[in-house]
Amino acid sequence: MFAFMEREVLESIRARLSKAKRVVFLGGAGVSTASGIPDFRSEEGIAKTTERYGIPYETILSHRFFFEHTDLFYDFYWSSMVHEDAKPNLAHRVLKEYGDRHILFIVTQNIDDLHELAGSQRVIPVHGTIHSYTCTCCGRKATLNEIPHHGVPMCPICHAPFKPDVVLYGEPLGEEELMGAKAATEYADALIVGGTSLQVYPINALPRLFSGSLSILINRDETPLDDRFDFVIHEDVGTALSAILEGL
């Protein structure tokens, strides 16, 4: 592991990254915490907010729970998963600016669309988005702006509940998104992973597909895959990305 603030290490990262033609950024919840969106496992994370329900968040945010306890699911969902006032932070902005100058694919586990709001173009949201909904009966689509942000949103046509287009526990990832994430990783020259504990399958398997020349992990805490990366930086994601990417 290398200390982030060592100048020679930073210069080495930038020199090697400047030679990359295709870069993949794989991001998790830690990318959006600076925007006021909680992660899952920290002291202030989503896991803590489920304590008042007495139910683990993996259960509340599961496919089965949605259909068996739709009212309770949405009570938690509106209070803990939807953050309408969140804005892109430094990490999102730096990645957007770098992507304007280079071929950059962003594989995000987040459902907040902040990369898209920042203006990034090549974004693969493997866990879906809170901004899109599908009727559980007729398949009618709706956007977040078209449904009430309280209670259970119902389809105006068949009066069945809308389900958010996010991947719940017990559901597979979308085939198109997963294949896109795998292809982007396999053909990348450089891989940057940021703000994720790399504990959720199958996304935590993506780094094993990477065979390029430079891999960087940026996360405040250690992960099970730290030893697979060329550089490991235990710092704030936005601060580290800014130091590495700006000006390249």
3-state secondary structure of 26: strand
Neighbouring C-beta atoms of residue 68, cutoff 10 Å: 10
For 177, residues 6+ apart whose C-beta sits below 8 A from its C-beta are 124, 125, 126
Q: String of b and e for 128-142 (b: at least 16 CB within 10 Å)?
A: bbbbbbebbeeeeeb
56 - beta bridge partners?
none
Compute, in degrees rounded to 10, the torsion defined by CA atoms 53, 43, 85, 105. Answer: -110
How far is the C-alpha of 194 from the C-alpha of 79, rounded, in Å?
Answer: 26
125 - beta bridge partners?
108
How far is the C-alpha of 216 from the C-alpha of 155, rounded, in Å?
Answer: 45
How far is the C-alpha of 21 from the C-alpha of 18, rounded, in Å?
Answer: 8
How far is the C-alpha of 12 from the C-alpha of 230, rounded, in Å?
Answer: 11
Residue pointed to by tokens 């259970």? 152
User: Pick the catalytic residue: 92, 127, 150, 234?
Assistant: 127
**Token pair recorded at residue 143:** 């956007």
> Does residue 115 have an active-site annotation?
no
Which residues are catalytically annotated? 127
